[in-house]
Structure 1
Amino acid sequence: MTTARSWWRRGDNLRAEALAAKDAAAQAFYELDTAQRELEISIETISAVEQSPEASRALSGFRALGEKIDQVSAAYIATVDAHDLDRDELDHASASRAVSELTRAKDDLVNARTELERYQSTMTPLLNRAETQLARLAPARERAKQSLLAASNALDAVRAAGITADELASRLAALAPELTKLNEGAAKHGVKETVQRADDIRRKAEAVRAEAERLPEQAREIDKRLVSLRTRVQALGTRAEGVAPVLSELRRRFSLACWQDLQQVPEQAAQAVRQAETALAEARRARDGQQWAQATAKLASVRALMDDVDGAVGAAGDRLRRLNEVSKDPKAEVEKTRFVIRDAQRLAMQGRTTPEPRHARPLDEAVARLDRALAALEGRHPDYWAFLTETAAVRETANRVVSNIREDRAAGR
């Protein structure tokens, strides 16, 4: 009885060892399966984001490793199926073989998991990069949709104010196909492209919103400019009519050279006023049709025409005033010019016994030019305008010498 009980205990111990080996192998299989699933998630994340050669190699490596894991897992399952450890007639040899084969299966599973973990560690940089991009995806999509909503609300608000904003509505409607692709997600279009699409939608929608919010103020500004420019056109039209008497006085009192270049001013001014009136009417029609860009462009052309009229009309009056002044007292213009020349000469001599020739020569020539200009007034029909033009040129020469001297001294020359 003692001997029989000993054999029974030994058989029971072997069954326990076999069951323990089976449990250990099952635990190893579970841990390998868990690690493989985690790596699959990482590979899917990388594949969704990365299209680089590095990502392609990672995917190929994972497939090869997966085949090896499948072989090890299949061997484990076959081993478990080959040994029924619960049957009553489990003999010593069967139990020993089960312990050996299950232990080997467990070791293979552990080795496969170790290799899997080692491979997973090499994927860390790729995974981190992919996760960073994925982290941008949801916020980018949300910002795009919020911008679209804000643009739509802004359009509704300006329409309620009586502004159609058709062009902005068309731009917003053109984003619909892109929104469809955005909603299809990164699984279809890739994370990088989806983030870029979301950012592009956001920028375009924000531009529409901003322009829509500016429309009421733009309309008010255009209305104000229409009134202002209308008043200016009328005023300049009246001023243009006064050019003819100015020219008449210029012709009567001064030589041909003093006014010849102004002969076309009355007709040019009248034509510019007519063109401005036409452009104003076109601007009004564009504003009434809510063609804001066209209205703004027309108003800009009106303003440019008025600036030209202003300059031409002002030139005639200014010419008469200056000619009156110089004909009464030419010496005042001469003294003004001499003062500028003397100021330049004093600067050229500052700290020197003789001036630099490159500074002295133009100043000496300026003195001579001034004397010649004054002498030219002694004829019967003096050209006062040529005199004023020449004195202005002489002053410019003196001022240029002053600038050169200051530049040389600032540079230590």
Structure 2
Amino acid sequence: MTTNGGSTRRWGWGGGRAESLRADAQAAKDAAAAAFYELDTAQRDLRISIETITAVEDSPAGRRAVSDFAALGTRIDQVSQEYITVVDAHDLDRDDLDSAAATRARAELTRTKEALERTKGELDRFEQGLGGLLEQAETQLARLAPAVERARQGLLAASNALDAARAAGLSADDLAARLAALSPELTKLNEGAGQHGIRDTLQRADRVAREAETVRGQAARLPETAAETDKRLSSLRTRTQALHTRAGKVEPVLSELRRRFSADCWQDLQQVPDEAVRAVRQAEEKLREARKARDEQRWPDATSLLSTVRALLNTADEAVKAAGDRLQRLNEVSFDQTAEVERTRFAIRDAQRLAMAGRTTPDPRHARPLDDAVARVDRAVAGLTGRHPDYWRFLTELDAVKETVQRVVEQLRQEMGAGGPGAGPGQGPGRARRNGR
């Protein structure tokens, strides 16, 4: 009998040798317990990672990670059960533990420890393989709380902006309805990602934040929109009244055109008075509709109607102005055609000089339309015959000539630019090579 810490223990044969074998077995048991603890801890930590991936990743890679972890879990359960079985099978504290039992216990516990360590190695390698999936999932998780908070703050800001608009006398019913439609989305956000998934929750939070910001911005701009609409209503009403007055002066202009010039000079303007009056009448009607839309705070409708009024007035204004401009130009050319002819010929000469820059002979592509322009001017001048010459045809012909000349000038300038600095018209790379430069 040996005394140890106040207790007695019977030792089998061999005394010190048996005690040494018992100690070895106990050390093997402690090592196996440590390996079991490390494996269990690693499995629990990795399960959290897998749950994170599952909450975020609904992809083939994510699903494969889940199934692989489940297979590993089966293997872990197996080696853990083997460990428990071995530990239960060997009572290292019993008094009659003999050397053979101690040796057998140490061997089995060592094998169990090694199996636990191998399984832990598999678990470690599996965790390393998760790398990108886990990082992506954690990134989304980190975005979750701020995204939900932004959505909530956005809804609050939109609500405050609506309150301010109403305080200014603006109903903003359509914006209030849009904000109310977001209430179910806020409920889902409050229920959390655990119920609706991280991906869906993130998308919902971003969508709510965007829509809330749109509502807030529009609500904040409502006073400005109302003021701008009132300003446009007043301006267009004044313009309509002025155009109504100007439209009444078109008929005297037409009378003078009929009295002094041939029919070809004014026939296309015959419908201007009626068209102007009709456009003004339509503009007045649309203005009334716009006023009603503004009073009912239907801002998009009011804006659309005011745009229609502006278009109607622009059309009528151009027609009325065309009649006055026609009379003025005809008066000028009937008094003296020389100035208009000289302006046209000057434009032709200027284009001809440009066409000859850096050349000894002009390019036919430029020379031909310019030569035709000279002939057209001569014909237009020769056509001014009779008691009432067709001055309008004369003017339109000279306008057409100037447009042709301008097109030639633009073509020349483009070719100069394409030929590089200092190149003349037509002196691009191809021509330079043919000239041996």
Q: Which residue of 2 aligns with 1:376?
A: 383
Q: Which residue of 2 aligns with 1:362?
A: 369
Say if 2:230 is the partner of 1:229. Answer: no
Pick from 303, 319, 343: which aligns with 2:310? 303
SS in 2 for 1:378: coil
Taking the aligned partners of 1:280 and 1:102, their CA distance within structure 2 comes to 96
The CA deviation at 1:8 is 4.1
SS in 1 for 2:278: helix
Tell me which moved more, 126-135 or 328-337. Answer: 126-135
Say if 2:325 is the partner of 1:321. Answer: no
Pick from 123, 147, 172: which aligns with 1:140? 147
Q: 1:411 to 1:23 in 2, by over 3 A?
A: closer
Taking the aligned partners of 1:48 and 1:213, their CA distance within structure 2 comes to 38
Q: Which residue of 1 aligns with 2:134?
A: 127
Equivalent residue runs for 1:209-358 within 5 Å? 209-358=216-365
The CA deviation at 1:201 is 1.6
Structure-2-length-normalised TM-score: 0.89
Say if 2:176 is the partner of 1:169. Answer: yes
The CA deviation at 1:83 is 2.4
Q: Which residue of 2 aligns with 1:157?
A: 164
Taking the aligned partners of 2:356 and 2:250, their CA distance within structure 1 comes to 48
Tell me which moved more, 381-390 or 106-115. Answer: 106-115
Tell me which moved more, 37-46 or 211-220. Answer: 37-46
Q: 1:320 to 1:122 in 2, by over 3 A?
A: same
Amino acid paired to 1:238 = T
How many pairs are equivalent? 412
After superposition, the C-alpha distances for 1:174-201 in whole angstroms (9 at most, x for unaligned) are 2223333333333343333322222122
The CA deviation at 1:7 is 4.2
Taking the aligned partners of 2:309 and 2:403, their CA distance within structure 1 comes to 34
Q: 1:346 to 1:98 in 2, by over 3 A?
A: closer
Taking the aligned partners of 1:88 and 1:323, their CA distance within structure 2 comes to 134
Q: Which residue of 1 aligns with 2:431?
A: none
Q: 1:12 to 1:351 in 2, by over 3 A?
A: closer
Pick from 15, 22, 25: which aligns with 1:15? 22
SS in 1 for 2:361: coil
After superposition, the C-alpha distances for 1:57-99 in whole angstroms (9 at most, x for unaligned) are 2222211111111111111112222223333333333333333
Gaps of 5+ in 2: 3-10, 420-425, 427-437
SS in 1 for 2:103: helix
Taking the aligned partners of 1:40 and 1:99, their CA distance within structure 2 comes to 32
Pick from 58, 70, 89: which aligns with 2:65? 58
Say if 2:21 is the partner of 1:35. Answer: no
* Root-mean-square deviation over aligned CA pairs: 2.1
The CA deviation at 1:5 is 10
The CA deviation at 1:33 is 0.6
Taking the aligned partners of 2:353 and 2:124, their CA distance within structure 1 comes to 88
Q: List, as ranges, runs of 4+ consecutive aligned residues in structure 1 with deviation greater than 6 Å.
A: none
Taking the aligned partners of 1:283 and 1:345, their CA distance within structure 2 comes to 55
Pick from 395, 411, 415: which aligns with 1:388? 395
Give the conservation status (yes or no) of the 8 Å contact 2:12–2:97: no
Amino acid paired to 2:205 = A
Taking the aligned partners of 2:28 and 2:359, their CA distance within structure 1 comes to 109
Taking the aligned partners of 1:297 and 1:35, their CA distance within structure 2 comes to 66
Pick from 198, 203, 210: which aligns with 2:210? 203
SS in 1 for 2:384: helix
Tell me which moved more, 332-341 or 215-224. Answer: 332-341
Taking the aligned partners of 1:7 and 1:354, their CA distance within structure 2 comes to 128
Gaps of 5+ in 1: none
Taking the aligned partners of 1:135 and 1:68, their CA distance within structure 2 comes to 32
After superposition, the C-alpha distances for 1:374-404 in whole angstroms (9 at most, x for unaligned) are 1221212211111111111111222222222
Taking the aligned partners of 2:384 and 2:208, their CA distance within structure 1 comes to 73
Tell me which moved more, 90-99 or 49-58. Answer: 90-99
Identity of aligned residues (%): 67
Say if 2:45 is the partner of 1:48. Answer: no
After superposition, the C-alpha distances for 1:89-133 in whole angstroms (9 at most, x for unaligned) are 333333333333222222222222122212222222321222222
Taking the aligned partners of 1:326 and 1:134, their CA distance within structure 2 comes to 80
The CA deviation at 1:409 is 2.8
The CA deviation at 1:302 is 0.8
Q: Which residue of 2 aligns with 1:411?
A: 418
Amino acid paired to 2:138 = E
Taking the aligned partners of 1:406 and 1:375, their CA distance within structure 2 comes to 33
After superposition, the C-alpha distances for 1:342-385 in whole angstroms (9 at most, x for unaligned) are 22222223333332222222222212211221122121221111
Amino acid paired to 1:193 = D
The CA deviation at 1:271 is 1.0
